[in-house]
Amino acid sequence: ETGVTQTPRHLVMGMTNKKSLKCEQHLGHNAMYWYKQSAKKPLELMFVYSLEERVENNSVPSRFSPECPNSSHLFLHLHTLQPEDSALYLCASSHKSSGANVLTFGAGSRLTVL
Amino acid sequence: QKEVEQNSGPLSVPEGAIASLNCTYSDRGSQSFFWYRQYSGKSPELIMSIYSNGDKEDGRFTAQLNKASQYVSLLIRDSQPSDSATYLCAATREGAQKLVFGQGTRLTINP
């Protein structure tokens, strides 16, 4: 247990469904991230929230919609996804401070889009 | 050009030998560098960070940084089968929140 909890761990959805991924961190961190991990590709940064404000949106399609209601919780709302969106979605958190940015990852949510 | 580049492997090393993992980066503004280990089906976990040129040792792990050559490496001494995993190299600019990852090198330690 890393202190970053993601649910659900596995999700299968059709292209017309709406679902959400949830992330919760118990580390007192003030920045949270969504990364996408596809086979044989580098981890892709999707969104960054710092002090509950979105500071990075890495050209992610609008069918992915993040929400950060407080510094401990992060959601990724999914709608009308495509099969190529099937991947492991990793949440991470860090303590924003000057210098390096050390991430703690959750276990991930494995998404399959049919 | 990829921002952070690693040989995807697989890299096979006999047990007890030194495993050497390499990484290059293209952004000269990168200041902080990290090695994450990811076991199959698990999330990445931080094993080493390095910020200045030279070597940094932590147990069996040594990270090496050469900013002039834009090169980072990770050495694992006395390799164990439990070291078999994918190793991810990552870089970031100082104060930035964007951590850029390489695609990872899959390492297999053979008993």
Which residues of B fall within a CB distance of 8 Å from A31?
A: 97
Chain B: give the shortest CA distance to residue A100, in Å. 6
**What is the mean pLDDT of each successive set of 10 residues along chain A, which is 114 residues long?**
92 91 94 91 90 76 93 95 95 73 91 94
In A, minimum Cα distance to B97 occurs at A101
Decide if pLDDT at B2 tops 50: yes
Decide if pLDDT at B27 tops 80: yes
Distances (CA, A) of A25 to A53, A57, A110, B74, B96: 16, 21, 19, 29, 21
Q: What confidence score (pLDDT) does residue A15 get?
A: 86
**Nearest neighbour of A101 by CB, restricted to B42, B45, B92:** B92
Report chain B's mean pLDDT, rounded to a whole number. 93
Question: Using the beta-carbon criterion (under 8 Å), do A41 and B46 form an inter-chain contact?
Answer: no
Q: What confidence score (pLDDT) does residue A38 get?
A: 92
Decide if pLDDT at B110 tops 80: yes
Q: Residue B10 gets which letter from DSSP?
A: -
pLDDT in tens, B48-102: 999 999 999 999 999 999 999 999 999 999 999 999 999 999 999 877 778 899 9
In single-letter form, the type of residue at position A50 comes to: S
Q: What confidence score (pLDDT) does residue A54 get?
A: 76
Q: What is the C-alpha to C-alpha distance for residues B39 and A25, in angstroms, rounded to an integer?
A: 21
B58 membership: H or E segment, kind and range: strand B54-58
Q: What confidence score (pLDDT) does residue A64 get?
A: 95
Biggest CA pair distance of chain A: 43
Chain B: give the shortest CA distance to residue A17, in Å. 26
Chain B: give the shortest CA distance to residue A61, in Å. 18
Q: What confidence score (pLDDT) does residue B1 get?
A: 65
Rg over alpha carbons for chain A, rounded to the nearest Å, is: 13
Q: What confidence score (pLDDT) does residue A98 get?
A: 44
